[in-house]
Each structure stands twice: as C-alpha cells, then as structure tokens.
Amino acid sequence: MVLGSRRPAGGRGTRPPGRPAGLKGFAYRRIKNDVRDAADLLRMGRLPETLNPPPPVRELRELVRYRAKLVALRSGLKSQVHAVRAKAGIPIPASDLFGIDGRARLEKTALVGPYAQGVTSLLKLIDELDTEEALFNTRIAERLQGHAGYQAIQQQPGIGTILAAILVAEIGDIHQFASPDRLCSWAGLAPRHY
C-alpha cells in the first residue's frame, strides 16, 4: 500500500484520519522535525483535528478553572493553619475549624509570637480568598442563568451548582457528541481493553 492512500470505507482496518495509529509511522523517521511532520500529516489528511470551542464556552471554562484554583489555594492555607496549631501543640476540638464555631475557638486560642502572627496572616488570606470565590461564584451563576443544560444536570442526585457549572463548562455543546457513549469516551469514563 502506498503511504497516504486509504482503504475503501468500511473495509477491515479502516482508520479515520487523525487516529494515533496513523501517526505511529512517523516516530522512527530519520529526518524528523515538527514542521516536516506536520506538513506530511496535513498532506496525507492525517493531521488530528481538535475542537476549538466558541468564545463564550472558553470564557466560562476560564471562570470555572480559576475558581477551582482559588479553592485549591484556600485549602492549602487551611492546611497551614492546622500545621501551625500542631507545631504550637494546641489542639482545638472542632469538627470544622473554619466554620462559625471553630473560627471563634481558633481566634480565642492563646498562640504567641510567630505562631500567632502566622495564623492571623493565614486567616486574613483565607477571608480574601473566600471573598474572591464568592465573586467568581456570582459571575459563573450569571453566565449560566437560563442555561437549559445547567438546570437539567442539577436534577441528577449529587450534582449541585458548582459541579453542574464544571460539567457544562468542560463539555461545552453537548450536541457535538453523537451519542452518550461518545461523551463517556471523550471524558475517559469508558475504558476499553483489547
């Protein structure tokens, strides 16, 4: 078979353009560089296609992903508060140290010197991140107000506003998937073993 030719549609071993198996042959070429490989793949119709979502979906993804970064930062700061408490040897009996009751107990704890300064600084940063997260929650809710998919997915048990926003932002237009199986495969939820 000549490189770049295709078998008839539906024949055994037919692979649509852009599949990884069609790219394997380029791994061991003697004269190899990205420009040459890309040109050859484009010429043969094997250059993998990617989905470039429209600007509103990209903007929603940016909001949702940035909010997740804020939450991760805040979690790290909370862990540092626990670490400072442990270093000082002061246990605070509260199931949620950063809830109303736990926070009141934390502020009454008699920490001294650098321990007290560290916890005070960390609590200020946590408060700032709480404010920023609330701001991004509002922005995300405004973007998704009236979004049919956002409302529908929240009807599933265990899916609230935040997880629904993440799913809508990452999936984008659900109609780009021909079937639920395609969506599961794209999301990596349908592993197959050959």
Residue of higher predicted confidence among 32 and 124: 124
Q: Evaluate whether 114 touches 38 at the Cβ level (below 8 Å).
A: no
What's the confidence (pLDDT) of residue 48? 64
Q: Evaluate whether 15 touches 22 at the Cβ level (below 8 Å).
A: yes
The model's pTM is: 0.69
Residue of higher predicted confidence among 124 and 18: 124
> What's the average model confidence in pLDDT over 147-157?
92
What's the confidence (pLDDT) of residue 82? 86
Q: What percent of the chain has pLDDT over 90?
A: 37
> What's the average model confidence in pLDDT over 14-31?
53
Q: Is 139 exposed, middle or buried (0-12, 13-18, 19+ CB in 10 A)?
A: middle
pLDDT in tens, 165-174: 999 999 888 8
C-alpha to C-alpha distance for 163 and 175, rounded to whole angstroms: 20
Residue of higher predicted confidence among 127 and 31: 127
Give me 150's structure tokens: 């956002």
pLDDT in tens, 41-77: 777 777 666 778 889 999 999 999 999 999 999 999 9
Q: Evaluate whether 129 touches 73 at the Cβ level (below 8 Å).
A: yes
> CA 176, 180, 184 angle in degrees (round to 5)?
95
Residue of higher predicted confidence among 137 and 46: 137
Confidence of residue 5 (pLDDT cuts 50, 70, 90): very low
Q: Is 43 exposed, middle or buried (0-12, 13-18, 19+ CB in 10 A)?
A: exposed
Cα 126 to the chain's mean position, in Å?
Answer: 22
What's the confidence (pLDDT) of residue 78? 92
Give me 173's structure tokens: 């237009």
What's the confidence (pLDDT) of residue 51? 72
Confidence of residue 151 (pLDDT cuts 50, 70, 90): very high
Residue 95 half-sphere exposure, CB side, CA atoms within 13 Å? 0
Q: Provide the b/e sequence for 49-80 (b: ≥16 CB within 10 Å).
A: eeeebeeebeebbebbeebeebeebbeebbeb
